Amino acid sequence: MNRITIIGTGYVGLVSGAGLSDFGNEVTCVDISEQKIEMLNNGFIPIHEPGLDDLIKRNVKSGRLKFSSKIDKVIQNSDVIFIAVGTPENPNGDANLDAIKSVAKTISENIKNYVVICTKSTVPVGSGDLIISIVKKNIKSNINFDYVSNPEFLREGSAVKDFLWPDRVVIGATSDKAFSVMKEVYGPLYINDKPILHTNIQTAEMIKYAANAFLAVKISYINEVANLCEEVGADVHLVAKGMGQDGRISSKFLHPGPGYGGSCFPKDTKAFSLLSKKNGLSLKIVDAAIEVNEKQKIRMFNKLNKLFSFNLKSKKIAILGLAFKPNTDDIRESPSIEMINLILKNDGEVDAYDPISNNKMSKIFPNITYHLSWEKACQMADGVVIMTEWNEFRGMDLILLKKILKNPIVLDTRNILSIQKLNNLGFIFDNVGRIQNE
């Protein structure tokens, strides 16, 4: 059994810590926030992620998972230390590595014996060298360590499944000893023949950025195709289906909508682009994806504005869905933010509903009205915009929706409503890349 320390109890740290303890390791998740650790020790999980609550409770009960704010003491009793702190976006688009640097210094000042230092946080290529240099500068001369890059590939809303049953585990290690330790850490996966890819540190760091950027490109590409479909009379759902049935392409991430959001794609594509520029190159496809994504958010507002004959003044718009995707409460870079901003700037009013993200969005927009159901949000609204494809919106009673709206105007940015039903009920509506008279 390996004694593992996870530094950082955010999204990546909590899921990774719970997952690694489920693999049989002895895991302690640490954080500088004593309040956060107290909450976790009291059984409160600060993020919404299906299955995480049960996973944490099971491993806390078994004694394999603990939470502590005594970072120095926990580090001293570790075999493997995972860095899982945030790397937010700097104003120039680069990744902010202040927390990474601080943690590296703290680790180096407290390790007593050989350890493997492993980064889970998403960091630019070359960050491993930076961390190694910080540790070497501050460590006692008679203590050895190895460094490993082990990027995460967790999808919010299915992160527990992704961690316990991953497509692959990437381990960037130049030391055979460190790689052997990491194979033990992921022992159940190794035994079950899950793909474990052994690379050098730089390659592992690159895989993470390259994968996220590719998925962002795929989303922006299908959004551009959807926009063209609207001009030529094609249906993007069938286009995407026809593309996705090609094994070389696959159907994943071929879902048109209001643009990507979340904690990863917006930040990572910008950092990846900047990394390229720093090395005298340009990632023109990634740059185009970033540009398309920003334009797509504005295009969604323009669709809404057109439905109201370009006059939103004093119009009450119901926004359904605030999280950037379903099954998460994460609103970071959510397309809903841009939609709400533009409605308010054009003198419209907003009533909003999300199954779990109302409170988080209220910190950004404290002066709009939040409701506890989609029915309440839509009551006497002049129109409704679906921004997140929560299942309860897929099954909305359209007869009831028309009855409670002041005007039967709908913008479905996620293409989840039946066009035939909307037509039959006499709705005025728009969507993304679909034929209106289906």
Q: What is the pLDDT of residue 141?
A: 75
* The two structure tokens encoding residue 432: 């993304």
Give 293's Cβ-side CA count (13 Å radius): 25
pLDDT of the chain along its 438 residues, tens only?
Answer: 799 999 999 999 999 999 999 999 999 999 999 999 999 999 999 999 999 999 999 999 999 999 999 999 999 999 999 999 999 999 998 899 999 999 999 999 999 999 999 999 999 999 999 999 999 999 987 899 999 999 999 999 999 999 999 999 999 999 999 999 999 999 998 777 778 999 999 999 999 999 999 999 999 999 999 999 999 999 999 999 999 999 999 999 999 999 999 989 999 999 999 999 999 999 999 999 999 999 999 999 999 999 999 999 999 999 999 999 999 999 999 999 999 999 999 999 999 999 999 999 999 999 999 999 999 999 999 999 999 999 999 999 999 999 999 999 999 999 999 999 999 999 999 999 998 775
- Contact at 8 Å (CB) between 45 and 322? no
Tell me the residue type at 387. M
Q: What is the pLDDT of residue 136?
A: 94
Give the 3-state secondary structure of residue 429.
Answer: strand
Q: What is the pLDDT of residue 438?
A: 59
C-alpha to C-alpha distance for 349 and 430, rounded to whole angstroms: 20
Q: Which CATH class is domain 213-430?
A: alpha beta
DSSP class of residue 312 equals: -
User: What is the dihedral sign for C-alpha 173, 178, 179, 181?
Assistant: negative
Q: What is the pLDDT of residue 426?
A: 96
Give the 3-state secondary structure of residue 197.
Answer: strand
Q: In 3D, which of 433, 437, 434 has the Cα closest to residue 421?
A: 437
DSSP-derived secondary structure for 70-115 = -HHHHHHT-SEEEE----PBPTTS-B--HHHHHHHHHHHHH--S-E
Q: What is the pLDDT of residue 396?
A: 95
Residues labelled as active-site residues: 264
Q: Which CATH architecture has domain 3-199?
A: 3-Layer(aba) Sandwich (3.40)
Q: What is the radius of gyration, based on Cα positions, of the chain?
A: 24
Q: In 3D, which of 374, 372, 378, 368 has the Cα closest to residue 343?
A: 368
* The two structure tokens encoding residue 53: 């609550």
Q: What is the pLDDT of residue 26?
A: 97
C-alpha to C-alpha distance for 31 and 375, rounded to whole angstroms: 40
Q: Which residues contact 102 (CB under 8 A, 6 or more apart)?
A: none
Domain residue ranges in the chain? 3-199, 213-430
In the numeric block, the tokens 């190794």 are attached to 190
DSSP-derived secondary structure for 351-384 = EEE-TTTHHHHHTT-TTSEE-SSHHHHHTT-SEE
Tell me if 3-199 shares its fold with 213-430: yes
Tell me the residue type at 310. F
C-alpha to C-alpha distance for 52 and 164, rounded to whole angstroms: 11
In the numeric block, the tokens 């909003």 are attached to 352
For the chain, the farthest-separated pair of C-alpha atoms sits apart, in whole angstroms, at 78
- Contact at 8 Å (CB) between 318 and 410? no
Q: What is the pLDDT of residue 436?
A: 76
DSSP class of residue 246 equals: S
Total length of the chain: 438
* The two structure tokens encoding residue 190: 């190794």
Q: What is the pLDDT of residue 193?
A: 76
